Structures are given as C-alpha cells and as structure tokens.
Amino acid sequence: MPEQRVVIGVDSSTQSTKALAVDLDTGAVLGRGRAPHTVSGGAGRESDPGQWWAAFGQAVAATGWADRAAAVSIGGQQHGLVTLDAAGAPVRPALLWNDVRSAPQAAELRAEFGAEELARRTGSVPTAAFTAAKWAWLRANEPAAAERTAAVRLPHDFLTERLTGEAVTDRGDASGTGWWGPAGYDHAVLDRIGLDPAVLPQVLAPGARAGTVREGLPLRAGALVATGTGDNMAAALGLGLLPGQPVLSLGTSGTVYAVGRTRPTDPSGTVAGFADALGDWLPLACTLNCTLAVDRFAALLGRDREEVEAGGSAVVLPYLDGERTPDRPAASGLVHGLRQDTTPGQVLQAAYDGAAHALLAALDGVLRAGGADPAGEEPLLLIGGGARGRAWQQTVLRLSGRAVQVPEAEELVALGAAAQAAALLTGEPADTVARRWRTAEGPVLEAVKRDEEALERIGDTLRRAGALQGDPEQ
C-alpha cells in the first residue's frame, strides 16, 4: 500500500492561526489546529509578530502531522507592516491592515502621484490599509524605529522566512503593499516613502518553492515550503476559483473579489487591483466592518445575532472602526431613520444590510475590472465565518438578487495554502489541485427578487452622511 502523502496549509489571520493537515490525493482533512492571537486596541491595531510564530508552532503541532508532512505553505493577513532589525527581531509590534492611523500618509501619496497614476503603477489607489502608507506613517511618527529597520516583511513573509531562512514573497501578497506592480517593485513609490528596496523580500514566480524547513523547527526538517500568499489569494486558490466567479467573504473584514484575466486599474479606489497567487489578477473590494461590527450591534441591542426582524425604516452604517470602502477612515457608526415602532430586531437587520450593501455595491466594479460580465449567472460564492449564518445568507440573497452558493469546505485560506503546498509535489497549478479536491461544492440558495427599497434607503443615507462620516470630499 503506498504511503499516505500529507501537506499542511496555514492561515495566519488577524485573530488566530489555523492549520490543516490534508491528504494530498483526496483533499481529506486529517487534522486541525488553532491558536489565538492578541490584537492591541489602543490608538491603532497592532500585534507582536513573535506571537504569530508561537501560534504557528502550536497550530501545526495540533494537527498531529507536523513530523510527517511533506510540504507546507502559509496564507497570511494582507498589508501588515512587519519591521525587523539587523538580527531579525521585530523592531516594534506589526501595524495591521485595519490600523487607520496612516490615513494622512495615504492621502499624501494620492495627492502627490494622482489616483490614476498610482492605479496605473501599482493597480490600486492606496488607503490607510496599504503597507506603503503604514511605512510612511512609521517614518513620520517613529523615526527611530524606522531607522533601526533592516528588513520589511508582510505577515506571511515573516513566517515563511522563519521556516526557511529565505527572504521571499509572492506576487499576490506583494500586490497589496502599494509599492509593487507587474514590473516589480516601484522605485518611484519607494523613493517617495523613503524605503530602500534592498530591505524587501524577493518576489518569486507563481508555483515556485520558497525553500525547505530548517532544522529544529515545529515541522519535519527538509519538508518543502511553498511561497505562500495573502489570505484573499489563498482563499481563491482554496476554492479553485475560475475567472469571473464572484466571491463574497464574511469575516473580520468583508471582501468581494473574482479572478480576472485583465489587470485592474480603478482610479476611483473602490477596486484594489491585486494579483492572484498564479498568473492572473484578483480585483477586490474590502470593508473594515463586517461580522464583528454586526455582532457588536447585536450585543448593544441585547439580542442573539440571528434575532433579526424584517420591516421598518432604520438604516445602519456600521463604521465602528472607520471604513475602507467607502474610504472614510475617521468615520463612526451611524443609525438613521428610527421611528416609535422601530424594533431592536429591525435595527439589527439594518446593521446586516449596511455591512452587506458596502460589498455588494462594489461587486459589479470588481467583475468589470477583471474583464467579466456583471450580468453573468454564476452563483455568488459565500465564504468566511459568517457564511453559515442564516441572517447573513438571507441578507445577501435579498440585497444581491443573485443565487448564493455556500461551499461546505471550511478554512478556505488554509485549504488554499495546502493546495499550494501540494502543487510543489504534483506539478499541478494549485487551483487545479483544489478543484480536484472539490472544495467549492455546497448547497445553492436560489435567487430572490432584489430589495430595491432597502438599497435605495441605504444609498440615500450614504449620500447625506458624507460630511458626518469623515468623507474627505465633503
């Protein structure tokens, strides 16, 4: 009987590290592990990269296959700024994607280059989330820390380098920095923010090997290590996503994306022109406020997250952490349209509607940016922590007017990383591996008539609320 071949895929996210041990041939999940992270909630959003490494070891060990896995790959939260000194130790806690203190620096970049030029160079118009703005913030506010920095990494780069000793990254995650384009690192942007390209990792080709696991680490020494990628790119791999298939992900953040054949360059900034982990593109729109914001409204109202009620005139813009789409980093939450007969359940439903609306409003632009037809009939793939919640499903159905498919596979970022690791051993593209594993299969919820009245009510409130929500154009 042939020896079972096993790979490990890792998802190092904002809140935790999750690891899956996966049978290379069948896609069966053989073991799981999870370890939490701590995020500071003071002036910004920060984490100690050292705890990611500790959590990585705990999660991988918990799968039960750490000493036998043939290959490993890491998907990580995008945009985070990891600064290391000459000895490879963190200079300070990492600035996370949802830290909005760098909004002024993002605005300065947009003003200096112009939105169209930045979109042409890097595919995206940077907001506070992008790594370029975070480095500019660090230089302006903590110059001593910037001066001590000998290496700049993204979260998944940091972990991959700890595993292999190699300073490498991939095109997918690099495309979310604001300083990378199809020709490589953009020296004009790097010069503007004062970052030496020598401190950045090498961008490897899709499907390349990052290295092998070093001795004395929580995995078998000599196991192959794939390049890894950003979490959204890894989830696209985990679904085996084909061009034009739309995805809506419900997590700490909300994202909507699709693989595209053409490179996106949206000067409005709504669609980020990311690369995928293969050779195509991943136009994407992202909101800061998604499941956690809605859960916070449920807690404030004293209700379970599923205790929603239809009807009423309430509108909620759940911008509890500022917002990225629309770009309002100084925004706060807003509740509008309350009446004497408004119920707590109606307010909670309005919070769901407000969170979903921001993503669905960007969906057509995401599809067009990648060269797909927004009127296509492909079901909207619903993934992430909120995807199995009935209230989320019904909200997306009602506001999208599309059929919705909920894949049965869980932990798609880790599955995508596992597919990347498997591809090193089989020679297949990673998305082909995932399709062979049938990861996207799941029930399809039939389309219902779109709730135009709710969409109009939310849109009207958005137009009126620009000045209150910190819209820079108001």
Q: Exposed, middle or buried by CB within 10 Å (0-12, 13-18, 19+), for 341?
A: exposed
| Residues 167 and 190 sit within 8 Å (Cβ to Cβ) | no
DSSP string for 257-326 = E--BSS----TTSSSEEEE-SSSSEEEEEEES-SHHHHHHHHHHHT--TT--------EEE--BTBBTTT
Closest CA relative to residue 387, chosen from 395, 378, 377, 376: 395
Bridge partners, residue 281, by sequence = 260, 275
Catalytic residue among 170, 231, 266, 280: 231
Closest CA relative to residue 134, chosen from 123, 144, 122, 146: 146
Distance of CA 25 to the CA centre of its chain: 28
Q: Exposed, middle or buried by CB within 10 Å (0-12, 13-18, 19+), for 422?
A: buried
Q: How many CA atoms lie within 13 A of 228 on its CB side?
A: 37
From residue 372, alpha-carbon distances to 134, 369, 465 in Å are 32, 7, 32
Per the annotation, the verdict on 266 as an active-site residue is no
Q: Could you give the CA distance from residue 421 to residue 24 in angstroms, rounded to a whole number?
A: 9
Q: Could you give the CA distance from residue 412 to residue 418 in angstroms, rounded to a whole number?
A: 9
Residue with tokens 């409130």: 461
Angle at 44 between CA 386 and CA 123, to 5 degrees: 70
Closest CA relative to residue 129, chosen from 77, 91, 180, 93: 77
DSSP 205: P
Q: Could you give the CA distance from residue 143 to residue 430 in angstroms, rounded to a whole number?
A: 41
Q: Among positive and negative, which fits the CA dihedral 10, 12, 13, 16?
A: positive
DSSP 91: S
What counts of helices (H) and strands (E) characterise the chain? 15, 24
Bridge partners, residue 383, by sequence = 249
Tokens of 254: 């909300």
| Residues 156 and 17 sit within 8 Å (Cβ to Cβ) | no
Supply the residues annotated as catalytic: 231
